[in-house]
Structure 1
């Protein structure tokens, strides 16, 4: 979804971003000069209530895997926002940029691989945390009747001390 634009105006990259709850009418992009490969390509600035330009985000150059298109991606963040706003800028310096926003996809932490050793087949090695179809939680320690299983042998009392004071 497009939520703004940036264009070259009097030698400065200026633009705006607006959503239903956010209105940033005067934003600035400042090119970052750095020899560090991990440095952003641009810093995003906005005027605060005292008419000072403050940095509210940064953009890094990225390349789309499917098309090879070069674009800028980053986020806007400020203590007044409930969470950072991820954005991407598409276009060219000479023509201007469209600002797009996409809701980030949530990661499903329950299906992330465990940190155990991987076997030769790429799977998890024995004892490294069987994820199976249980979502990564491993096997149950409760029997069919709800009692603790596997703490002692069959018929033995579980090795649990319920008399520990809090």
Structure 2
């Protein structure tokens, strides 16, 4: 679903995003110059109530996984005033402008199997791994090494 657009206005990339509950009428894209290949291509700026430009997001280049292999920009807008980040994608180019699209993330299936892999830690020096043997007996009393009389059952809080 398209929720906004960006176009070059007076040499700067300016735009807006609007939904039923979000209205960001003054947005800007600022190019990011970085030698880091994982840096975003653009920062998303918004004009706040004090008439100052503040960063509210970033955009990275992505390539469609379909047969077209179309390049687009993807990222999100996030601000403490929003209930959650707004994932967005921009399609188009700097000359013609960008269309802003939004797609709801599919809900997570809480009953789906969880794959934890084989990431069990191998602890050094302990028999059987982990934290070692228990100091509790079958009845729940202390059965470990040392003198049980030395234990203080009263724990001050």
Same topology, TM > 0.5: yes
**What's the counterpart of residue 132 of structure 1?**
none
Structure 2 gaps of 5+ residues are: 120-136, 142-157
Q: 1:44 to 1:160 in 2, by over 3 A?
A: farther
Q: CA deviation at 1:113?
A: 1.8
**SS of residue paired to 2:46:** strand
Distance 1:89 1:65 in 2: 16
- Superposition misfits of 4+ residues, deviation over 6 angstroms: none
The Cα RMSD (Å) is: 2.2
5 Å-filtered alignment, 1:145-160, equals none
**What's the counterpart of residue 42 of structure 1?**
42
Relative to the length of structure 2, the TM-score reads 0.72
**What's the counterpart of residue 95 of structure 2?**
94
**What's the counterpart of residue 115 of structure 1?**
117
Distance 1:82 1:160 in 2: 49
Q: 1:162 to 1:31 in 2, by over 3 A?
A: same
**What's the counterpart of residue 59 of structure 1?**
59
**SS of residue paired to 1:37:** coil
Relative contact order, higher structure (CA 8 A, sep 6+): 2
Relative to the length of structure 1, the TM-score reads 0.69
Q: CA deviation at 1:81?
A: 0.2
**What's the counterpart of residue 33 of structure 1?**
33
Radius of gyration: which is bigger? 2
Structure 1 gaps of 5+ residues are: 118-158
